[in-house]
Structure 1
Amino acid sequence: MSPAQQPEEAPLVSAGSDPEDRAVEAALRPKNLDDFVGQKRVRRQLSLVLEASRLRGRSADHVLLSGPPGLGKTTLAMIIAAEMNAPLRISSGPAIQHAGDLAAILSSLTEGEVLFLDEIHRMSRPAEEMLYMAMEDFRVDIVVGKGPGATAIPLDLPPFTLVGATTRAGLLPGPLRDRFGFTGHLEFYSTEELELVLRRSAMLMDMKVNSAAFAEIAGRSRGTPRIANRLLRRVRDWALVHGIDLIDAGSAGAALDMYEVDEKGLDRLDRSVLTALITKFNGGPVGLSTLAIAVGEEPETVETVAEPYLVREGMLGRTPRGRIATAAAWHHLGLVMPPSVAAAMPEDLFTAAQEEEVSGGDPAEDWMT
């Protein structure tokens, strides 16, 4: 296979998955709610929903799981099927672009089966409208023919449970959201929760890691279990090559430093964005497109890969005039913010972000181009 044909690997601290991640995650995923680490509120509520369904002897209500990638939505869908002792069918929104695609899946479901639709917000509108009736009445109308001679043939479906997963719940139409009996929003993990995830994964991979090393890896994992497990595998590789049996904090830190993941979890792209903001634009504000050109990346890459974590860590702000580097960003790069820049900093970046959303985006997207 030529390099151009090889599948693109996800960046080390990207929450997206690649083929290697999916293969390893299959072995590391917990099989029941008791083994699932974190998300205590969602686990408690979901456990009640499933237990009540078992007592009634009926399929569980439809479940919508939302939240950033890498937090366990797919794992929870598999656990729901396992807890209900039901088969699991997996598909995704992008794969269902026609109502006929959805009809083919629904018509082949068996009673009690769990249908998991990942990225459900990316389904086509005709498929969404068919899904409304299927979720509520367990029935779909198959249209045969076109024009005045078209005929709708009703098709009854066996009771099933739909588990939808989305990273952008706001893009789901209201009628679809309202048809889910339970909605759970997954939140980022604390460092302590990630340490528990890493301990379990290390045990399954037969790794010897001390507590300090777990804390070191967890602190660089951006609050995301998928990233934590990926970093753990890279540390394992580093230790194997260097002949280290027991991984300590120094070994874990050295391994992750080699992969350019710093103590805050920032990678090369994150630091490039902050460095460009500070050294080339004196901390901003600067439009997204201009910033992307400065770091040699596409605007979509900067916006979807780097910005979310930098904003969450308080190192980057989004204002109506563009992106700005906060005092935390200057400090993280070992730089001193000039008094003139500090004086021009908005007093409340959260309010500035709200103003941006109300105004409909970034009105100064290319103000420096």
Structure 2
Amino acid sequence: MSDIEKTEFRLPDGTRPGQGAGRPADAPLVPDRQPADGDVETTLRPRSLEEFIGQPKVRNQLDLVLTGARKRGVAPDHVLLSGPPGLGKTTMAMIIAQELGSSLRMTSGPALERAGDLAAMLSNLMEGDVLFIDEIHRMARPAEEMLYMAMEDFRIDVIVGKGPGATSIPLELAPFTLVAATTRSGMLTGPLRDRFGFTAQMEFYDTADLTRVVTRAARILGVTADADAAAEIASRSRGTPRIANRLLRRVRDFAEVHGDGHIDLESARAALVVFDVDSMGLDRIDRAVLDALIRGHGGGPVGLNTLAVAVGEEPATIEEVCEPYLVRAGMIARTGRGRVATVAAWRHLGLTPPEGTPGVEPGSLTG
């Protein structure tokens, strides 16, 4: 086989595309030297309960459930993990399978549109396997009703045929453990929720735990970061490890392009300014909402649709993406008449709140 002709392209400064400043022109490009961003999430996931940072109550409770099941030699009770996105529900499901030494089968609620979809997956489970269903509240009702019997009795009834000639064939299942995740536990039906033997509510992280998450991720990625820089990234991560890891990767990019790759406090702050993340963790859309609410409508109350039109976004984006954190941060109050900016929102924009703003004591702004 003849050799393939290699053609090199160089920029005017002598570097190859993607080489970056300070890289020798003859240095080989190694595409697999660092994992791609799509693989980073998997690389950063902890492998055991001991490695998992934060959620101490959930970890301790889950450790008791798993240890007790292992001692009895049975499959543990079904587990429901509830909480906002990005707190580690999928990671916890992987850890459960790892701790049990079992195989993990993964699917999602929207993928289970028919009872037959669920039956096919359940019938392929081996004894002791862990089945993970993400966003279980979005599962179709026929599949959910089939899941009731599978969770309690480890069997399902498969309907063959249609009309008067249809017959029900019972199918025994191997004992398994269902681990389900939901971001909206209130949307689960009572019969489904009651069939879980252990329910865990994942909480937002504090800055100390998120700093440990950032430090651990930096070590895995081979990045050196000062303690105060890690704390700065953590403080702007909205209490969510997924956001903390994402911001760390962007700060890493900034440090490598504009410096020697080391992340100090100055480079972390400069990078976060470039990526529109302010000191409270608010991004461009969050600040646009506050600006429209305060400068455009005097602090409210403003209806959701009016607010969405003012910032050029869909109402669902405002309600599901922006509002949860703004409400939790105490910057927006939801009232029967609409959204109202609090004193914290006014001061975050550098403005003086008027009398009557939520959080302002009467007479505190006079004299």
TM-score higher than 0.5 here?
yes
The aligned residue for residue 80 of structure 2 is: 64
d(CA) in 2 for partners of 1:190 and 1:53?
31
1:121–1:166 CA contact under 8 A, matched in 2: yes
**Aligned twin of 2:303:** 287
Alignment match of 1:79 (pick from 95, 115, 131): 95
Question: Unmatched 5+ residue regions in structure 2?
Answer: 1-35, 362-367
Counterpart residue number, 1:266: 282
**In structure 1, C-alpha distance between the alignment counterparts of 2:339 and 2:359, rounded to whole Å:** 12
> Which secondary structure state, in structure 2, belongs to the residue aligned with residue 337 of structure 1?
coil
CA distance in 1, matches of 2:253, 2:37: 15
1:21 and 1:230 in contact (8 A); partners too = no
- Residue 163 of structure 2, aligned match among 139, 144, 147: 147
| Distance in 1 (alpha carbons) for counterparts of 2:191 and 2:76 | 20
Aligned equivalent of 2:352, options 336, 351, 365:
336
Q: CA deviation at 1:78?
A: 0.2
Unaligned regions of 5+ residues in structure 1, if any? Answer: 1-19, 349-369
Out of 321, 324, 332, the position equivalent to 2:337 is 321
1:130-169 equivalences in 2 (<5 Å): 130-169=146-185
TM-score, reference length from structure 1 = 0.87
What CA distance in whole angstroms lies between the structure 1 residues aligned with 2:194 and 2:38? 31
**Contact 2:252-2:261 at 8 Å conserved across structures:** no
1:168 counterpart letter in structure 2: R
| C-alpha distance in 2 between matches for 1:335 and 1:55 | 61
Q: Would the aligned equivalents of 2:294 and 2:346 in 1 still touch at CA under 8 Å?
A: yes
The residue type equivalent to 2:171 in the other structure is: L
User: Residue deviations 1:147-181, cap 9 Å, x none?
Assistant: 22110000000000000000000101011111111
Q: Which residue of 1 aligns with 2:131?
A: 115
2: CA distance between counterparts of 1:29 and 1:49? 22
SS at match of 2:98: helix
Supply the AA of the counterpart residue of 1:82.
Answer: Q
Counterpart residue number, 1:253: 269
TM-score normalized by the length of structure 2: 0.87
Question: 1:178-217, aligned counterparts within 5 Å?
Answer: 178-217=194-233
Q: Deviations over 1:111-162 (max 9, x none)?
A: 1000000000000000000000000000000001112211000000000000
The separation in 1 between residues aligned to 2:143 and 2:90, in whole angstroms, is 21
The one-letter amino acid paired with 1:332 is H
Q: Percent identity?
A: 65
Quote the Cα distance in structure 1 between the aligned partners of 2:305 and 2:222: 46
Which runs of at least 4 in structure 1 moved beyond 2 Å after TM superposition? 20-23, 243-246, 345-348
3-state SS of paired residue (2:297): coil
Change in 2 beyond 3 A, CA 1:241/1:282:
same
Tell me how far apart the structure 1 counterparts of residues 230 and 193 of structure 2 sit (CA, whole Å).
38
- Structure number with larger C-alpha Rg: 2
| AA of the residue aligned to 1:45 | Q
Q: Deviations over 1:82-107 (max 9, x none)?
A: 00000000000000010000000000
Q: What number of residue pairs does the alignment pair up?
A: 326
Match of 2:191 in 1: 175
Supply the AA of the counterpart residue of 1:142: V
Is it true that 1:302 corresponds to 2:318 in the alignment?
Answer: yes
Distance 2:353 2:94 in 1: 49
Over residues 327-369 of structure 1, what are the superposed CA-to-partner deviations in whole Å (9 max), with x where a residue is unaligned? 1000000011123x53xx4899xxxxxxxxxxxxxxxxxxxxx
Aligned residue number for residue 224 of structure 1:
240
Mapped partners of 2:360, 2:233: distance in 1:
34
Give the superposed CA RMSD. Answer: 1.3
Deviation at 1:244? 2.7
- Hey, what's the Cα distance between the residues in 1 that align with 2:39 and 2:87? 17
Equivalent AA in structure 2 for residue 323 of structure 1: R
- 1:21 deviates by 6.0
- Aligned equivalents of 2:241, 2:339: Cα separation in 1: 28
Tell me if structure 1 keeps the 8 A contact 2:343–2:360.
no
The aligned counterpart of 1:16 is none
Select between 330-339 and 184-193 the one with higher mean Cα deviation: 330-339
